[in-house]
Every structure is written in structure tokens, then in C-alpha cells.
Amino acid sequence: MLSLTASENFISFLVRVAPALNAGSFYFFLPPYLTEKGEWYFPTSGVMEEFVRLLSKSAHSLFGIELLDWRPNGGSTAENAVMLGVCRKGDAFIHFSHSDGGHFALEPMARETGREFFHLPVNQRTLLIDVPRLGTILKENPQIKLVLLDQSFKLREQPLREIKAILPENVILCYDASHDGGLIAGGIISQPLSNGADIIIFNTHKTIPGPQKAVIGYKDKDNMFVKPISQTVVDKLQSNCHAECILPMLICFKELEFFASSYADQILRNAKAFAKALKYEGFNVSGESFGFTETHQVHVIIGDTDKALYTVENKLHPAGIRTNNIEIPGSNGAYGLRLGVQAMTRCGMKEYDFEEVARLMKKLLLENHETVKIRHEVDTLNSCFPRNPLGYGFDQFMVKKPSHDSSDVDKAINGFLTEVLR
């Protein structure tokens, strides 16, 4: 399949095999703070603690995280842990509505546990948070203790500094970077923790090309909510933390340290080229007023929910194109395609390749060419971009031995790989 989902990625060889090297059948779930040994203490060799130390060091380098909790098994766990840890019963939080791209997991948990919620005011033309209106909502509702930017259908960078400036001192600002984490690491989108956020959460399998895991990171290691949030992760929401994913996350983070800048730059170039090409071919592409996209995502408006689902299930998928349908933010309730370029960017696709994808989609969806013929053209294009070795990662170094004239980057990468494999 030509993978154009915005919420998945291809992972490098070493990230794929690392769980098998990492004692996956053994428990390890120490919290990110010192704790007394108790009933559920499992002795460790120290290896896992060292991996966590290295992961935390890398997270600090990439995202400015001072204290890292690696244990959440997914983005939903991370965001619910923050919501439950910061907000007590009767407290409230404010986040994106579903129609503005908010994540589906928060509101059901809030209803079940007695937390109130509000929706962020969003300008439907610019897709940016209306900061003055947000300030009014906060003044009128002092029970709001958390602003959670949990946007999954994300085309733009939000004004974090302006948001932080109007927040009362007792309100926490949490940024969900699950979709744009790789772009943040690469400098395309501003660092949330440097621009007002107190907490950053993200899963590690979208623009961050790692295992299906998640983290919670704190700007201040003495944040008063570290323990309540961490204790919500374990043992209220989960017990097994899948420690076999620590090493794959570490390898993925080290790949980002070396390659995030060029990777993120190409993602944005590809997304903008894809959006412009789709518009040129006749599709209704969201966000033209701001250049279509500032992230890895491109949104194409199709129609009602049934038509959008039919397009994904009965047109694109049989033709070899994998994506999904969503309610498009800013479209007055219309549904369509959420396309992502990050996975195929790792496979080597450039701007002109995505322009070819747009032409194929036009043939399929607008000109109603036979699906079997388009499938052949998609397969031909797809065959030019193998999944191994992947770009912007360590695959290219796995069989390469350092030489006397190796670059400093080559030597650093090979040194890291040698240590990990040892």
C-alpha cells in the first residue's frame, strides 16, 4: 500500500528488532521519581534504568523535557493521565472539540469520573485558537484547571505564547505533540515547552517514527502534578508498561537527533506540494488561505460522512492507497480525507512524487478510471520506494563500517549503534 495515513509511520530495522533485545518478558515500571520499595517491587539489573536515563537525556535534547515518564502505552493513556492527575472531581478542563480536531478519548473518561469540560474557541477560517475568547471563558469558569491542546486533525501551529500569557497561575497548559513531534524535533514547529507549555505528551509512531508507545514530559522536574499524573498512569490506567519499548524509543529518538532537521523539512515540503497539486487537479483542499498546511497533514473535503467513508473503503483502498476519513476542521461539518506524508517521506518520496499521487487520485476519484488500472500505476510508483533501507534513520548505517575518512556524523552514529548492539 501507498501509506498516506497521518497517524502511522514506517520504522527502521533496528527499531523493529530492538524489542527482542530488551528483556520484553520482564516487568519494569519504576516512576520518574524516587519511590520506596514495596509489595510490587521487582529487582532489576540496572540495564533498564540506564536505558531510561539515556532516553531522558535524548528527550531533553529534542524537546527540552526536564523530567520524562516513558511508561504510558499510548497517547490516550497519556492525555487521560494528565486530565485525571491535574483535575479533581468537580474541576474542569478545556480542549479542542471533535469538529476542531480534538481527540476522542478525553470526554468519555471525563464524564465517567466527574470532570467538566469545555471546548476551545477556534476561528473557523484560520483554524487558530481565539485567544481573547479563551481568556473570557477562563475568567467565567474558574473551575478550569487545565488547557489541553489535543488536536489530532492538525494543519497549523497554535499561538502558545499568547495562550500562556492569558492563563491564570493555577491553570496548567499541556501540549499534545503526537502528530507533530517529529516536526518539533526538526525545528519546523516551535518547541512547546519553550513557548509556554508546562507539560508535553506524545505518542511515538506518527511523525516520530518509533514503536506504538507514548511519553509525558515536564518542563519543570518539580511540577506539583508529577506524582498525581504518574500514579494515574500506573496503577489506575495500566500495570504492564511494555518496557521492551524503551530501547526502540531510545533508538528512534537518537535517529531524530541526527536526522530530524532534514526529515522535518522534507515532510513540510512534501505536504505543501501535495496540497497544491491536489488543489490544481480539482480537489477541495482545506486551508488555502494559509497555504493549506504547516504540518505533515493535508485535508481534502469530500462531502458527508458516508461519501467520505465510501471513498476511503471502496475507492482508495482497492487502488492501493491507505488513508482515513475524518470530519474536516473549518468545513462546517463536512467530511473528507486526512492525508499524511511522513511515512512515504521516510521511503524517499519528494515533492514531484506527491504531485504524481495527486494525479493518480484525480484519475481515480474525479475521472472515475478503472480501479484496477490505477492500482497498477500506484503499485509501479510504490515499488520505487522500498521500506528497507528507510531514509532519515540508521538503516543506511547498519551494514556500513566506519573508515578513516568517515564523517563525524558517521562516526557518532556507528558509535551509538555499537554501544546499543553490545
Q: Please report, for the domain that includes residue 149, its CATH number.
A: 3.40.640.10
Rounded-to-integer distance, Cα 342 and Cα 264, Å:
9
60 located within any domain = yes
Helix, coil or strand: residue 339 = strand
Rounded-to-integer distance, Cα 158 and Cα 362, Å:
32
Report residue 4 CA to chain centroid gap: 15
Q: Cα angle at 304 between 329 and 338, to 5 degrees?
A: 45
Residues composing the chain: 422
State how many domains the chain has. 1
| Res 396: pLDDT | 79
C-alpha cell at 319: 487502488
| Res 403: pLDDT | 56
In sequence order, which residues have a C-beta less than 8 Å from that of residue 377 and are 6 or more positions away?
360, 363
| Contact between 237 and 24 (Cβ < 8 Å) | no
| Res 38: pLDDT | 85
159 located within any domain = yes
Q: Which domain holds residue 220?
A: 12-253
Q: At what angle do helices 351-361 and 246-280 cross, to 10 degrees?
A: 60
In sequence order, which residues have a C-beta less than 8 Å from that of residue 193 and are 6 or more positions away?
63, 64, 65, 175, 200, 217, 219
414 located within any domain = no
| Res 45: pLDDT | 82
63 located within any domain = yes
| Contact between 246 and 211 (Cβ < 8 Å) | no
5 located within any domain = no
| Res 323: pLDDT | 97
302 located within any domain = no
pTM (2 decimals)? Answer: 0.94
| Res 44: pLDDT | 85
- Where the chain has pLDDT below 70, the residues are 23-24, 399-406, 409-410, 413, 417, 419-422
349 located within any domain = no
C-alpha cell at 398: 547498519
344 located within any domain = no
